[in-house]
A and B are shown apart, each in its own frame.
Chain A
Amino acid sequence: MKDRRTAVLRKKRSGAIAARRLKFLLTADQTGIPPEVLAMLRDDICRVISRYMDVDASGMELRVRYSHGELSGEDSADRSAVLCTAIPVRNLRLKGIIT
């Protein structure tokens, strides 16, 4: 019982896991980019950022937002896509690569 409770505490709550999985899945659905490729993109972005600061890769969000152009009423083709990413930073102090 106690083991189970500590295991639960250690793990992220399932609601948050669901939200994160879902956001990722919808980004893949909406862009048509396969989840596998999207995961590579995510990991690559994380790798680059983490050269500069300490980030929490597991909390990273990757989403595509669409901004409708002024003339977009009729045709959904002229909306432009914006890739948005949010990465939790553990430590904002830059790593020692800047001379």
Chain B
Amino acid sequence: MNAAVAPVVVPLLTALLCVGLQARRTRWTVSLAGGGLSVLASLWLVALAHGHGVVVLRVGSWPAPYGIVFAADLLGALMSAIGSWVALWTLVALAAQPHPRLDAFFHAGWHLMLAGMNGAFLTGDLFNLYVFFEVLLVTSYFLVTLGATRRQAREAFTYVAVNIVASTILLMGVALLYAAVGSVNMADLAARIPQASPGLVRPAVFLLAVAFGVKAAVFPLYAWLPHTYAIPAGPVAAYFGGMLTKVGVYALYRLFTTLQPLHGPEPWLLAVAGLTMVLGVLGALAQEDMRRILSFHIVSQIGYMVFGLGLGTPQAWAAGIFYTLHNIAAKTALLLVSSAVEASYGTTSLRSLAGLAHAHPWLGVWFVVAALSLAGIPPLSGFWAKLLVVQAGLEAGEFAGVAVALAVSLVTLLSMLKIFTGAFWGPPPERSHISPLEHASVVGLAALTVAWGVGGGTLLELATAAARALGDPAGYVRAVLGGH
């Protein structure tokens, strides 16, 4: 099998197996093994893309741009690796949840969504990007509504409607681009957009940016997110909160590097990024619930990733990629803590929780590690992530943006302290059991932010190489189109 599709095919087959298998224990074994295999497949792809550049698969051996291609560059491979890692550990957390009746569907949904995400990260075809977006969105609709109550079903309907409209906008963007250039192959588009009529390309890029912006939940398109992420079961929310919006961020990176490369700071992207940071964090301040606070912080931190993109230099993109990878790990760890608390105490409201640090000291430790990392305290990965973004901002002379980023990270720290004093401090509660599987799931991700904090050099090297590849669209075009 070609490495470029392995991270799509493995979860797809696992999902099918999970529906077919009747015995619960066998299903769990297959599902976890499938998750582990996806991680290995995507790490293999990272190694290949790092060593040899873009890994290309021409489906059916049709020459590009006529056939469908998968083109895994280092950014796509890295995103697929972290996505598979998150899927695996949120799956471990799911094992601790009491859903025996819906079990098979949860497993299938988990792996199908991973297949959709990895497909979106690795495809070299804009229309296939739309299709893989649909695969992961349809699965997400399904996971949000599984076992829903009436209120949840109503919230889920809004989520589905918003995403259908966004997908339609995405399709229109693809159509306009096809009208302008006559291709949906990304490498072909990258090569031919400069000669196309800007009257068609500009609205097309705008439509694509809006569609990806909705998925990434940037200002002013984020209103759907905090409500949706309050609905589903804890591990589902952790999976969504960690990965779903980052697929949108990835698509924005692809759009503004490979397809329509930025050269230097792009004021409107930077403005969007700043407003996303500020409004997300302000929204979090008003909340009194662990999960809702964390949901608003997802929005706020998307701002940093878009800030890195908007600065428009490979060095800033490297910072943005580092930030994205760090944030996925830290954020998922925090949401998994919230999920464990909810499973044992039935709530994540800061008013009803207290003294968790007494009852579950280790859970408190994991929380503090991930929370400090999110706020950007050394020596955790969040510190390097913010340092890199700030450094890139200073070098580009975007002092206002840097000031906003620093102020927002102070408020983030405040928010994390609020959760800590609200839920972990105070008189010990009536002790409830927290399963070792939930501890394991949190550690699986918190360990990453510690490792990337202490040994951030490796990740920085990978992020820099990925950004360098993004800064060289001609290399991508050569790799995909080959001898043309």
Decide if A and B are genuine partners: no
List chain B positions with a Cβ less than 8 A from chain A.
none
List chain A positions with a Cβ less than 8 A from chain B.
none
